[in-house]
Amino acid sequence: MSADTAQRPVLVVDFGAQYAQLIARRVREAGVYSEIVPHTASAADIAEKNPVALILSGGPSSVYEEGAPALDGDIFDLGVPTLGICYGFQVMARALGGEVANTGLREYGATDAVLAGSGGVLLGGQPDTQNVWMSHGDQVARAPEGFEVLASTADTPVAAFGSAEKRFYGVQWHPEVKHSDHGQEVIENFLHKAAGLASDWNSGNVIEEQVARIREQVGSARVISALSGGVDSAVSTALVHKAIGDQLTAVFVDHGLLRKGEREQVEQDYVASTGVRLITVDAADTFLGHLKGVSDPEQKRKIIGREFIRAFEKVQLDLVTEAKAEGEPIKFLVQGTLYPDVVESGGGTGTANIKSHHNVGGLPEDLDFELIEPLRTLFKDEVRQIGRDLGLPEAIVGRQPFPGPGLGIRIVGEVTADRLEILREADAIAREELTKAGLDNEIWQCPVVLLADVRSVGVQGDGRTYGHPIVLRPVSSEDAMTADWTRLPYDVLSKISNRITNSVRDVNRVVLDVTSKPPGTIEWE
């Protein structure tokens, strides 16, 4: 979805904020479509996107620093309703004739903000005193002429301001984070009351628009999709299939590193719900053969990626030959690229050839396909909703993120068939107990790791054992860029531990990883 469609965006101007993506998510939660653009965008760039509103993000810099992120001042002459947040609030104040100063007074974390009068359109109807999340050293010392001060704190006299005439508003705090008690109300007041925007963006709009776009792009050509069984590839494949039906063939490579029941889930439940034509490549023996004796995680990743390419290439050649014989060549490849992938790669525009950083498994550049990326403007939670609306099974749509190399990078040590079986059973138990406890929606994912190169002493059945430890890594996150370990109930942890140590052979210890990201990553390898 882009500005050349009927759905005009709210543009989030990114000044290097860690929360820019979160702001865009909050706007979408309010039923309004949003996109992120860099602060280097010119007024002409912004005007070309025809935005309905602008939100200027926070950032780590001081507006006075040499080389600090700046904004084309002509943007404020476009007549577009604008909300400044933290650094963006200060940029707006300076550009419009206000004063920003470093008074030596800093505010970090929870702070009480007090409304001035009614709080105006932005803060009206909210408590006179509310808890907000601050993170600033500089502050707006004087609001621009014609602006009304809407809130203050003990150390910041101008903590929020607004001009109803210009439809320009700003807050020093971060309304996008949940630590600000009425933060979402601030964002929604700006969108709905100040900018006059309706809550009319939803998954149904996305499906309808993407179906039309895919049909126009593809015409009568054939399309293939690399289906991993994960949420992103499952939803993108289903969406393309809704658009073009049997012109699409999905390819599922079973590398032998899947979790318990995943192949059956794809071949049975997914195919039954979508009707997609599926080709399964059984390559487990090939993958395990090349992984024999390899313990280094980076080497494992490279081997798995390389063998995936080879397996996919073979099917691709067969399909291309078949398509040529039928007179309709294969020109397109479906990828489940999401909006965070686009933003983190510099807002990439997509190319006609597949690059190694794409999420199909590192396919080579000489596979000459044009990409179809129907999810590239969406976040993970939005993708899940699209999948539900398309009728995909909840077991697929609601599943935890799973790495492309699969269980191969959840075994610390050499990957063998025996070790894979141990890990599959332990992983299945953990997932089953989390589901029973109703915790699936409270965690982002729970990698289960086998420390295959580690053994510890235990006592089982009145005998001494020397088994492997299993690590549970439950984490909570919104986008996987940062994460914290999930405080699971002790009784759930106890059930998981007891079942694993009682029923999974060669495992006599279960441990809990309580490391946040950073410093740790979500996966171990």
Q: Which residues are designated catalytic?
A: 86, 174, 176
Ramachandran region of residue 462, left (φ > 0), alpha (ψ -120 to 50) or beta?
left
Of 439, 507, 508, nearest to 474 by C-alpha is 439
- Listed in sequence order, the DSSP H helices in 126-270 are 183-188, 203-218, 231-244, 262-264
Token pair for 494: 């106890």
What is the Cα–Cα distance from 505 to 209, expressed in whole angstroms? Answer: 51
b/e for 55-67, b at 16 or more Cβ within 10 A?
bbbbbebebeeee
For 484, other C-beta atoms within 10 Å of its C-beta total: 14
**Element at 408 (helix H, strand E):** none
Contact present, 164 and 153 (Cβ < 8 Å): no
Sheet holding 129-136, edge to edge: 34-38, 10-14, 53-56, 82-85, 168-171, 160-163, 148-152, 107-115, 129-136
Give residues with Cβ within 8 angstroms of 372, minimum separation 6: 214, 217, 218, 223, 236, 240, 332, 333, 334, 335
What is the Cα–Cα distance from 250 to 146, expressed in whole angstroms? Answer: 59
